[in-house]
Amino acid sequence: MNHRPLNVTVMLGGPSAEREVSLRSGAAVARALASLGHAVAQLDPQTSVWQLPRPTDVVFLALHGSYGEDGTVQEQLEKLGVPYTGCGPEASRISFDKVLAKKRFLAAGIPTARFEVFSSPAAGWPAGWNPPVVLKPVRQGSSVGLQMIDHPDQWPAALAEALRYDSEALLEEKITGREATVGILAGQALPIAEIRVKHGAFDYKSKYTPGAAEHFCPADFDPESAARIQTAALGAFMAVGGRDYARVDVMVRPGGLPVVLEVNTLPGMTELSILPEAARAAGLSYAQLCQRMIDMALERSRNH
């Protein structure tokens, strides 16, 4: 498939806690797009004041975390009238705020874990809850600040740690089961990936340390369970108003019942990342996936 060469600006890095991963995602995307014959520029927006190189036909967003994934950069690009990859400002903002996203899931009948929100580091152990539970910042990506609590004694330190990253912390029941993630591309659920962590939780460290977690894609779920998981993931993507692509994290209880955790609107795009792996399982190479993402952005701007 021959594409006309474009001037693509890859936005990567940025000011968030996930800067390092974003730099790796963006570098991989830039290499892939250059291999397809596009003229690729890289832009690292370390503050909210930046200028796109001229000419830029389309922006590929390889930012992760706050600023990149919370709708801020999307709003700036909308004002500039430049096509960009991925979800729009509103879907980004809702997905990045785990509580807003969960409210959307519940309204749409998408199964999600029981939860409660805390904003005071002085809050005591919550009534009506038994460990094990999970505590995480409401607005952070990539498992930043994620705490597993197995005993109430751990609560004060875990709450303080989660609140270092955001003004609110989300408490959830810890779902036991298999950890799955579903890539969404162009309104279709890709083959399911299962994550098996060798030690402990699928936290920031195990997510980005080669060999710390194994991905299996396509995952070995029976057809009925697989259909349920993909339906729940696609439902969650639609519930937050997603477009083009995302990655939806799902816990699968014994018996194949999915529980949606969250929607990642700008999932990792390193060579180790799960969305590219799921696309490969569906027959798309890494470079073809990147091309598809910019094609969708350009198509949208043409139809605008």
Q: Phi, psi (5° rounding) for residue 118?
A: -130, 140
Q: How far, in Å, CA of 10 to CA of 5, rounded? A: 15
Q: Any residues with CB less than 8 A from the CB of 299 and at least 6 apart, and which?
A: none
Closest CA to 249 of 272, 269, 238, 265: 265
Spatial contact of 25 and 73, defined as CB atoms under 8 Å apart: no
Gap between the terminal Cα atoms of the chain: 25
Buried b (16+ CB within 10 A) or exposed e, 258-277: bbbbbbbbbbbbbebbbbbb
Q: In degrees rounded to 5, what are phi and psi of residue 283?
A: 95, 10
Q: Which residues are catalytic?
A: 18, 142, 208, 247, 249, 262, 264, 268
Neighbours of 48 (CB within 10 A): 11
- Nearest C-alpha neighbor of 267 from the set 303, 242, 238: 242
**Rg, C-alpha atoms of the chain:** 19
Burial, 52: exposed, middle or buried (Cβ in 10 Å; 0-12, 13-18, 19+)?
A: middle
